[in-house]
Amino acid sequence: MSTARLNALTRRRERHFGDRVVWCFKDRAPTVWAGLERAARLRPNHPAMVFEERVWTYDELVHEAARLGAGLAASGVRAGDRVVMQVRNRPEFVTLFYAIQWLGAVAVPADVRLQGPEIAHVVNDSGARVLLHDLDMSERALVACAANPELRAVALPEPAEGRLFPDTRDAGGVPAHIVDDEEAVAIIMYTSGTTGKPKGAAIAHLNVAHSFIHHAENLGLGADDRCVVAVPLSHVTGLICGVIAPLWRAGTLILLPQFKARDFLAAAAAARMTYTIMVPAMYNLCLRVEGFDWSTLSSWRLGHFGGAPMPPTTIEALAERLPGLTLVNGYGATETCSPAIMLPVGEGATDVDSVGRPLPCVELVVMDPETCTEVPTGESGELWLRGPMVIASYWNDPEATAKGIVDGFWRSGDIGCVDGAGNVRVLDRLKDLINRGGYKIYSAEVEAVLARCPGVVEAAIVGRADPVLGERVHAFVCVAEGVTPADLGTFCAQHLGDYKIPESWSLSAAPILRNANGKLAKKELRALAAQA
């Protein structure tokens, strides 16, 4: 039903970001602030955000954001200025994010794991005037200030110590700056920087509006949905799908400071959660919680996931415990403002190899990465995506923009294919493709086979340098007690060509190393494989 509703929305061709012509939804919020303001008008007294024992109604949330916006204005922040936020999952992240939008300024969320030199790069590259940070990050802020004497660092007080900008009672005589250009930058998010210094993806209001519609309409989110968020808000999926989507829908956001499986399940049960978004590893950790009464989660109807395939054993275990839960896979990136490809609700996650189909305003082509020509249907190549949710540029980096965005298409760096029904499969990262004596091996293919092996929780495949073949296949596998490399090798031999079968193994009962986004940390795993 939600897929039909999404397809029924009026679309039209529009010109944006210069000469880029894309499909757009006719009815959309013009700015990030306007989306929240509309929800507050519809349901002023409805719970908007819950954190521990504190509840904010929509009216309270809007007024607190405006008060903080007035405080930022009094400290010298103006429309268009960049404000870096190195803030954990706490209510102030949400209120300050919207305060920045109220001002017409640009929010620059920064990963709380970034250290002093890294946060200094974000500050300097974005040209930020202000750095908002948690109190225990003050030493990192000092490093950033030393690199930029004009930067003002503001430490957020702990909740028991009072409010930020306590002398600002309300917005007073400071008017909200109404952004009248939906192509204006609303958010800058810095990518992981796997090929050098992190790049700032300049996300416009237009990008946010379309990602929200794609996500919320495909899932059928409504005003009665309650979303528990434990993924980092400083990452694009946490912000777009975990904060903006439920709030623009006038639903309720239940915020957790961090993910701990038992705490998440308890919060979900207490809130009668209907929807969440997590990476597969987080679902796996929930299944490992002993003694939990899964019947208390009968309201949970939607489990969105991405970043990695969901192991079949996880899908089966969740179906057994939560028969009313629908799992929905999705694919996106910072550059696509999160969701660009999603599984239609109702089809379930039975096709574990597919990340779904392109959403209505998304154009997807599969290109030969060397010749930059389109490949035939069913053949593999690099996934290129275009649409109103794709960024116009990387901030302050024309060279990266020219390389990464071609004719409005964002080059994903992912190898994938599309079948005749439009189902998209992601096979590997270009940089993770293994070349064993001239044979190309997709790590995702081997990982998918291992995930079906009895006793396997998850797997990661990397190339290990070899003086003869160039690379050999090494496997990291999280397994149950008693599973051996011989068991895994025998299973692989039944499903894979001999050159794809791992030749060395690292087995453990512990979860495999992942980055802050929940994705397999392939760079670090390759280094570990070299030492194995």
| Lowest model confidence (mean pLDDT) among 178-182, 470-474, 508-512 | 178-182
Distance separating alpha carbons of residues 205 and 48, to the nearest angstrom: 21
pLDDT mean across residues, the chain: 92
What CATH number belongs to 433-531? 3.30.300.30
Show the CA angle centred on residue 240, arms to residues 110 and 108, nearest 5°: 25
- Of the ranges 56-65, 162-171, 271-280, 327-336, which one carries the lowest mean pLDDT score? 162-171
Contacts of 451 (CB under 8 A, 6+ apart): 309, 311, 312, 313, 352, 458, 459
pLDDT at 211 over 80: yes
pTM: 0.90
Q: Looking at residue 344, what is its pLDDT? A: 85
What per-residue confidence (pLDDT) applies to 291? 95
Range name among 16-30, 123-137, 152-166, 512-526 with the lowest pLDDT average: 152-166
pLDDT bucket at 161, cuts 50 / 70 / 90: low
Rounded CA gap, 493 and 490, in Å?
5
Q: Which one of 120-124, 162-166, 350-354 scores highest in mean pLDDT?
A: 120-124
Q: How many CA atoms lie within 13 A of 183 on its CB side?
A: 10
Query: Does position 76 have pLDDT exceeding 80, yes or no?
Result: yes
Distance CA 283, CA 277 (A): 10
Q: Is the pLDDT of residue 195 over 70?
A: no
pLDDT digits (tens, 9 = 90+) for 387-425: 999 999 999 999 999 999 999 999 999 999 999 989 999
Q: Is 118 left (phi over 0), alpha (psi -120 to 50) or beta?
A: alpha
Q: If we measure between CA atoms, which residue out of 68, 332, 35, 438 comes closest to residue 212?
A: 35
Topology of domain 2-418 in CATH is Rossmann fold (3.40.50)
Distance separating alpha carbons of residues 105 and 185, to the nearest angstrom: 9
Sequence ranges of the domains in the chain: 2-418, 433-531
pLDDT above 70 for 175: no
Q: Which two tokens stand for residue 14?
A: 């529009």
Predicted confidence at residue 235, as pLDDT, reads 94
Asked if residue 335 has pLDDT above 90, the reply is yes
pLDDT-derived band at 162 (thresholds 50, 70, 90) equals: low
